[in-house]
Amino acid sequence: MPEDTNPRLLRTIRQDMGRVGTEVRRTGLKGTVGRALEDLREFYLTTEDRARLARMGRGRRAIYFTWWLLKSLFLKLTPARRILLLLAFIALAQGSGVIASSDRFRVSVDVGWVGVVLILLVLALELKDKLLAREELEAGRAVQMALMPPPAPVLPGWQIWLFTRPANDVGGDLVDYLRIGEHRASIVLGDVAGKGLPAALLMAKLQATLRALAPEFTSLAEIGSRVNTILHRDGLANRFATLVYLEVAPTAGRVRILNAGHMPPFVVRAAAASELPRGSFALGLLPRANFEEQCVDLLDGDTLVVYSDGVTEAMNAAGEFFGDDRLRALLPSVAAMPVAIAGAAIVAAVDAFVGAARPHDDLSIVVLRRQA
């Protein structure tokens, strides 16, 4: 057994060093350390504490940051682990202690090692919790991927490309394709407020609701009204979803559109990009809401691009957004490309803009092109 275990351990360490080295070469040592510190700031410090740090000088900021970080880390532990960590600090501070002495002998014990063992125990318990949570998130991610349609659904008369990438292990963006009989197909891009597991669960409910209702109704306004009622009835407070629901037919260039509180899609034709009109309310905000159907006629080669705010609100290290203007300027240059290449070019442009900054939101894109 040791012959198998040691090489794996050494190989893992070498691989880790290679990955870290690649990251350091890409962002620089200062960038790598800065990103780690920024992650700690965002997770452990409150908004008020971060604002107070920004007003301090460098030396004072370092002292307060260290103290607030340690305090927040300590308070986030469970009560039992807080006691264990407190005992560890006491043991480390105590060092060697005399337990018996007389004129002829003196017995002392170094209790510092007890503190080290207790710290390792707390770390092991925290790591166990993280690994269990990671396994659950990976299982949730696998379910999400299983619910995803193929990235390039085949529909006569159309080129279609679908893409979604969560900011975390699971995401709240919905990208879906549903063939409804011989003469109808729906393409969906939705964005549930928030990120992570709560948003992912509501996204799954939204997808199931749409798939159940779409074959039953031909009116997109009615679909919007029914989905809104269900999400408001069964959803959580302050949770809502925006949605662009497209319906197309294999033999026609007309696209029927339901926009529920989402950013207007772009139509790209004749080397120019223009926004469609804005839509109705987001889903789940109000118990009752009226929705309107839009439509646009696409000619051969015309392209419709639907995107989530993870595109336009992608932020670089300087705090700048990618923005609508950059997207609008980019679209004509990719309009002649096959839809998969065009969509990948948009994602690459966003990634290049963001650089080493950590993504803050899920990113999703639908590219639909008329091909008569």
pLDDT, tens digit, 9 for 90 and up, residues 232-273: 888 766 788 999 999 999 888 899 999 999 999 999 998 889
| CATH 3.60.40.10 domain range(s) in the chain | 149-370
Confidence at residue 347, expressed as pLDDT on a 0 to 100 scale? 95
Confidence of residue 98 (pLDDT cuts 50, 70, 90): very low
pLDDT at residue 104 greater than cutoff 80: no
Instruction: pLDDT band for 139, please (50, 70, 90 cuts).
Output: confident
Given a cut of 90, whether residue 201 has pLDDT beyond it is: no
- Cα–Cα dist 331/243, whole Å: 21
Band of the pLDDT at 7, cuts 50, 70, 90?
A: low
pLDDT of 1 strictly over 50: no
Model confidence at 34, pLDDT cuts 50, 70, 90, reads confident
pLDDT for 341 beyond 60? yes
| Residue 39, pLDDT above cutoff 70 | yes
149-370: CATH number: 3.60.40.10
DSSP 29-67: HHHHHHHHHHHHHHHHS-HHHHHHHHTS-HHHHHHHHHH
pLDDT in tens, 301-339: 999 999 999 999 999 888 899 999 999 999 999 988 999
162 pLDDT more than 80 = yes
Helices (H) and strands (E) counted in the chain, each on its own, are: 10, 12
Residue 8 has pLDDT above 60, yes or no: yes
**Which of the pair, 266 or 87, is modelled with greater confidence?**
266
- Within 13 Å, how many C-alpha atoms sit on residue 285's CB side? 14
CA 277, CA 53: separation in Å to the nearest integer? Answer: 43
DSSP-assigned states of every residue in 104-119: S-EEEEE-HHHHHHHH
Q: Backbone phi, then psi, for 193, in 5-degree steps?
A: -60, 135
**Does residue 145 contact residue 118 with C-beta atoms inside 8 Å?**
no
Task: Give the integer Cα–Cα distance in Å for 138 and 173.
Answer: 17
Residue 243, both tokens: 């949605």
Name the pTM for this structure: 0.74
Q: How far apart are CA 281 and CA 221, in angstroms?
A: 12
- Mean pLDDT, residues 87-112: 66
Better pLDDT: 58 or 257: 257
Q: Which residues contact 95 (CB under 8 A, 6 or more apart)?
A: 110, 111, 112
At residue 5, the pLDDT reads 47
